[in-house]
């Protein structure tokens, strides 16, 4: 199976679960990803950082404080130390025992099941080599065509394309860019991924005319999802994938 970036006219929206099903389960955990799949997504989105011992791990923040029972920066903790942390109980006691996953674990789980959108976290803490490490893992799990790399750091996306020209990439941003197509082209990216509030019908048309996909983040209410679907975006990442059934 391949992850589609563009939807053909008249076909359903491509559904993406933001950090799994973050509105219903602890983000970036196996229970969250499984729930998103049960809710019918075609892809799950996640975030990656690098541990002290060079492992690519799934967590949104630069620190473990918000989403685990631990403290400290991801970059200062080994994978073994990260694996000891509870990544579920903070959300709800019934999720106690969920663990921080490695990207390798997610890719192995996702193979032939669902696409993966990987947001590379780079800045204000930078991880030299994170693009190469991520692409290596994608290749090891034969997930090149089921994966898209995203980042607010457009430099790291350009680096990823230099390493592997076939990998799909999308530029994340929040604002109304004067020339979003030029921004994507500068990064050699395939998709525009703006915050949903900056999506307009003109932007959708401009993206498609340039051969780019367009995928907003992260609307979490039904009226907004319906509006974005109506103006023709290709995919949407949301914390509440169950809402897609009501569009």
Catalytic residue among 60, 62, 139, 208: 60
Instruction: Tell how strand 14-18 and strand 115-120 pair up.
Output: unpaired
Catalytic residue among 18, 24, 49, 154: 18
Count CA within 13 A, CB hemisphere, residue 51: 19
Q: Measured between alpha carbons, how far is 185 from 114 in angstroms, rounded to an integer?
A: 27
* Close Cβ partners of 188 (under 8 Å, ≥ 6 residues apart): 157, 158, 161, 169
- Listed in sequence order, the DSSP H helices in the chain are 30-38, 79-83, 103-110, 130-140, 154-163, 180-186, 201-209, 222-230
Q: Is 60 a catalytic residue?
A: yes
Q: Is 145 a catalytic residue?
A: no
List the catalytic residues.
18, 60
């Amino acid at each position: 199976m391949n992850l589609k970036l563009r939807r053909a006219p008249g076909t359903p929206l491509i559904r993406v679960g933001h950090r799994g099903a973050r509105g219903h389960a602890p983000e970036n955990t196996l229970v969250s990803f499984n729930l998103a799949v049960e809710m019918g997504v075609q892809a799950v989105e996640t975030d990656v950082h690098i541990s002290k011992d060079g492992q690519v791990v799934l967590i949104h923040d630069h620190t473990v404080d918000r989403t685990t029972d631990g403290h400290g920066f991801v970059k200062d903790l080994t994978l073994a130390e990260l694996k000891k942390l509870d990544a579920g109980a903070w959300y709800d006691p019934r999720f106690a025992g969920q663990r921080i996953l490695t990207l390798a674990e997610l890719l192995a789980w996702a193979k032939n099941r669902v696409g993966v959108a990987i947001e590379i976290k780079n800045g204000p803490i930078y991880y030299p080599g994170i693009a190469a490490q991520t692409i290596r893992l994608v290749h090891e799990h034969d997930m090149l065509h089921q994966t898209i790399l995203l980042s607010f750091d457009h430099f790291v996306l350009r680096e990823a394309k230099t390493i592997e020209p076939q990998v799909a990439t999308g530029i994340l941003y929040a604002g109304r860019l004067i020339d979003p197509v030029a921004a994507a082209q500068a990064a050699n990216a395939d998709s525009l991924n703006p915050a949903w509030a900056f999506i307009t019908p003109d932007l959708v048309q401009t993206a498609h005319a340039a051969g780019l996909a367009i995928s907003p983040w992260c609307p979490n209410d039904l009226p907004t999802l319906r509006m974005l679907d109506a103006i023709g975006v290709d995919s949407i990442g949301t914390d509440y994938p169950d809402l897609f059934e009501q569009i």
